[in-house]
Chain A
Amino acid sequence: MGDIYREVLPQAPYVIGAYGLIWAFMIGFVATVFSRLRRLEKEIAVVEAAVKRREKAEA
């Protein structure tokens, strides 16, 4: 068991770093795109409501 620690530990930071980077990038990407999507949908809803109101006023 001691051997494993001696052999694995020096390499561990790099492996953890690699997987950490991948997870962080992926989660970051998904989170930012989702938040932007939600904001866009909200804006569209607001503008669409404005369009409807205007159509009603004109009619």
Chain B
Amino acid sequence: MDGLAWRQFKAILRKDIVMELRTREMVTSMGLYAILTMVVYQVALSEAGASLDVRLVMPGLIWVAFIFMSLLGLNRSFVHEKDQGCIEALLLAPIDRPVIFFSKFTGNLLFLLVVEVLSLPVFSFLFLQEQQGIANPVWMVGLVLLGASIGISGVGTLLATISVNTSGRDIMLAVLFVPLMYPLLRAAVGATFAAVIGGPASAALFWGWMAWVAAFDVIMLLVAFALYEFVIGA
């Protein structure tokens, strides 16, 4: 990447970060959404009894929260651009389309990771106090978060660009996004489970699932990247 593209990339990314730092709109709404989801989980698990080992369902629960949370954030990140005419300005500027994709992708990834990292301790504070903690080193959970968030942001950036131009915006994003994310979600839950529960075979299991996550990321990012130019120009 030459110097110009890099500077453009930084400029768009900085614009998104500065706007977020001023309004704190995305992180607050996504974080609140995550906490609300946890309240709903409390209701959902309220009749399950004390014998329930929350760690068994925790990997699934956190990914449910994260996938819907990311839907919210992805939508937000483009509704602004669309409603205030920023997209047109970006397209008029002599910026390569791939640069737009990567800067939006990086911004979305950044916000998503921030909220995920903030909400995980809250989750374990609320649900895992009487349980054993995470069996394997915490960095393993961090690795799943990073790997899955890359895939979520990559495909999400493309689909949010599409859905912001449709009549059903948020619901359209969910309809397109959730099924496409299924393989990644499944692998992320598997890897998180292996990291949380531990045991002798858990390392092999963990890396097996992480290989799926990596494969999904590579394929989906390449395809999303290749398609972005057409989608944003339409």
A touches B (Cβ under 8 A): no
**Measuring CB to CB, which residues of chain A are less than 8 angstroms from any residue of chain B?**
none
